[in-house]
Amino acid sequence: MPPIKVKSAEVATTPRRQHKADARAAAGSHGPAKPRAQTRIQREKQDVILEAALEVFSMHGFRGATIDQIAEVAGMSKPNLLYYFPRKEEIHRRLMSALLDTWLAPLREINADGDPFPEIRSYIRRKLEMARDYPRESRLFANEMLQGAPRIIEMIEVDLKNLVDEKAKVLLTWMDQGKLARTDPYHLIFSIWATTQHYADFDVQVRAVLGPARGGEGRFEDAARYLEGLFLHGLTPRSTPKAG
C-alpha cells in the first residue's frame, strides 16, 4: 500500500553512535536491535513507521513533527513506536540516509560515454519523475536543507560533493569537446535540481497558479517539455516554423 519502499535492513553509512538506548537494546532485556535476526513483524512495523514518519517529517520538518503524530499515522501507540525506534532522531536518520541514496541515483546514472544532450535530457526526465512519484522525499530533503542540514551536512560535504565533482568533470569534458555550451557545470547541475524539485517542493503553488484546468497530472509532462526546450535552446526564438 505505501507507494514508497524504504529499505528496511539498511546499514547506516555513518558509524552508529552509541546512544544510551542503543546500548540498552544491544545488551539488554528487550528491543529489536539485538544481535538476533529481525523478525517479520519488526521489518513490517519498521516500514510502516518509516512511511508514517516520511509523511510527517516531510511536512513539518524535524522539530515540527511529533512522535505522537507519527505514531497516529502509523496506526500504533507511541510507546509501541518507541519500541522499534528508541528515539525520534533515529527515525529521522534512517529516513535521511535511505533518502540520499535514492535521491542521487539519477545523477549517478549520467554516463560519461554518452552524448551530452540525451544524457542531460534523460537526467531531467528522471529528476522530474522523482518529483512526481516521490514528492514527500523531495520535501523531506528540502526541509532538512532549509534548516541548514544539521543532520546530514557530512553526507552533503562528502558523498554528494564527490559525486557532483565527478559529474562536473564529465560536463567539462563535453564542453571541451564542443558538444555543450561552455558554462559553469556546477550551476548547471543546480539549475536542474532547482527546476525539477520545484514541482514537488512548491507543489501547492504550482497547482494554485496553474489552476484546476492545467494543474492536473499533465503538469509534469508540460514541465518536461518546457524544461527540455529551456535547457536545449533557452528562450531565444528559433525560425523553425511549424515542424512537429
Partner DNA sequence: CTAACATTTTTCCAACTGGTCAAAATTCTG
Partner DNA sequence: CAGAATTTTGACCAGTTGGAAAAATGTTAG
Minimum gap (Å) between residue 44 Cβ and DNA:
8
Q: Where are the alpha helices (DSSP H) in the chain?
A: 20-27, 40-64, 67-74, 78-84, 88-108, 116-133, 135-146, 153-155, 161-176, 185-201, 203-214, 218-233
- Residue of 27, 209, 216, 218 that binds its own copies (CB under 8 A): 209
Number of residues that bind its own copies (CB under 8 A): 69
Counting Cα atoms < 13 Å in the Cβ hemisphere of 89 gives: 10
Minimum gap (Å) between residue 83 Cβ and its own copies:
26
117 binds its own copies (CB under 8 A): yes
237 binds its own copies (CB under 8 A): yes
Q: Residue 133: which of its own copies, DNA, none does it interact with, CB under 5 to 8 A by kind?
A: none
160 binds its own copies (CB under 8 A): yes
Q: Residue 198: which of DNA, its own copies, none does it interact with, CB under 5 to 8 A by kind?
A: its own copies
97 binds its own copies (CB under 8 A): no
153 binds its own copies (CB under 8 A): yes
Q: Residue 12: which of its own copies, DNA, none does it interact with, CB under 5 to 8 A by kind?
A: none
CA–CA separation, 115 and 135 (whole Å): 29
Counting Cα atoms < 13 Å in the Cβ hemisphere of 121 gives: 12
Minimum gap (Å) between residue 200 Cβ and DNA:
24
| Rounded alpha-carbon distances, angstroms, from residue 151 to 11, 14, 95, 165 | 17, 11, 11, 22
C-alpha cell at 86: 528508541
59 binds its own copies (CB under 8 A): yes
CA–CA separation, 42 and 33 (whole Å): 10
238 binds its own copies (CB under 8 A): yes
Residue type for 231, please? Answer: F
Minimum gap (Å) between residue 40 Cβ and its own copies:
35
145 binds its own copies (CB under 8 A): yes
